[in-house]
Amino acid sequence: MKALIPAAGLGSRFLPATKAQPKEMLLVVDRPAIQYVVEEGLASAADEVVIINSRDKKSIEEHFTPNPELEAMLRERGKDKYADAVAHAGNLNVSYVYQDEPLGLGHAIYCAHEKTAGEPFYVLLGDVLVPDNKMLPAMQAVSDAHGGCSVIAVMPVPHEKVDRFGVIAGQPVGENVWKIDSLVEKPPVDEAPTDLAVFGRYLLSPRVMELLADAKPTVGGEIQLTDSLDAVLQEEEMYALVVDPADGFDTGTVESWLETNNILWQRRNG
């Protein structure tokens, strides 16, 4: 089973910091943001993380490549703590596929279709960090309880902000679990069916990948993952796990990135 991390975006909201450096490589406390996401993927039932990269973001790949010379030099100098950190980053089980055109999240995910090989798969959006790595196992448990169906994480957001997210409609069926009836990407605030926003962690059935093969651009002119999730509901059940805002951190804007750094720094040193 694979965990897919789309990482081919431009990072426009962080310019000029992202002019020569991928957004995913920005520091969060002590490591690049994407390292948290890779570690989370590997802490789940996934055996490999697949980063959907763009060809000009090579520093992401360098980060996850072993660097024995640097490691040896650090050990010679007695800096074992840093040598261990370098070895750890270089040994994470990561592979790459490429998204050559920015056609949307659904398109990015489909770029990894050969990797998922007809199996269920996770999708982890890099804008969101889940440092305790507990969300994917909790989603897997919901899936296991419902015959292996797709499960997505949702988070309650202030009503006036729902138009920035995918939003679900459905009914609660257990503690923090909803059965989904439909999904809509970035609805106008007055048309949103709930305030439960798709949060950036997905456990998806292989049928979703098949539907992405024929998905067409919609909202924002992009091929939206949310549309294929809505389409798969014609054939399969899907559930949502309502996650606690304290368990996931948005790093998608400069403000939320700074706030996440502050909170995680305090947790580490508090």
DSSP for 109-161 reads HHTTHHHHTTS-EEEE-TTEE-TT--HHHHHHHHHHHTTT-EEEEEEE--GGG
CB-nearer residue toward ligand G1P: 60 or 229: 229
Q: How far is the CB of 155 from ligand G1P (least distance, A)?
A: 9
Distances (CA, A) of 82 to 25, 30, 77: 18, 11, 10
Q: How far is the CB of 197 from ligand G1P (least distance, A)?
A: 5
Q: Which amino acid is at 5?
A: I
CB-nearer residue toward ligand G1P: 28 or 105: 105
Residue nearest to ligand G1P (CB): 166
| Integer Cα distance of 139 and 80 in angstroms | 37
CB-nearer residue toward ligand G1P: 49 or 109: 109
CB-nearer residue toward ligand G1P: 22 or 166: 166
Q: How far is the CB of 219 from ligand G1P (least distance, A)?
A: 8
Q: How far is the CB of 73 from ligand G1P (least distance, A)?
A: 39
Element (H, E) at 100: none
Whether omega for the bond prior to residue 16 falls within 30 degrees of 0, making it cis, is: yes
β-strand 196-204 against 121-124: which pairing, if any?
Answer: antiparallel
Q: How far is the CB of 81 from ligand G1P (least distance, A)?
A: 34
The tokens for 100 are 């050559």
CB-nearer residue toward ligand G1P: 177 or 240: 240
Task: Report the candidate in 186, 184, 149, 189 with the shortest Cα–Cα distance to residue 170.
Answer: 184
| Integer Cα distance of 176 and 97 in angstroms | 34
CB-nearer residue toward ligand G1P: 86 or 107: 107
**Which residues form the interface with ligand G1P (CB under 6 A)?**
105, 125, 127-128, 165-166, 185, 197-200, 224-226
Query: How many CA atoms lie within 13 Å of 155's alpha carbon, on the beta-carbon side?
Result: 20
Q: How far is the CB of 138 from ligand G1P (least distance, A)?
A: 18
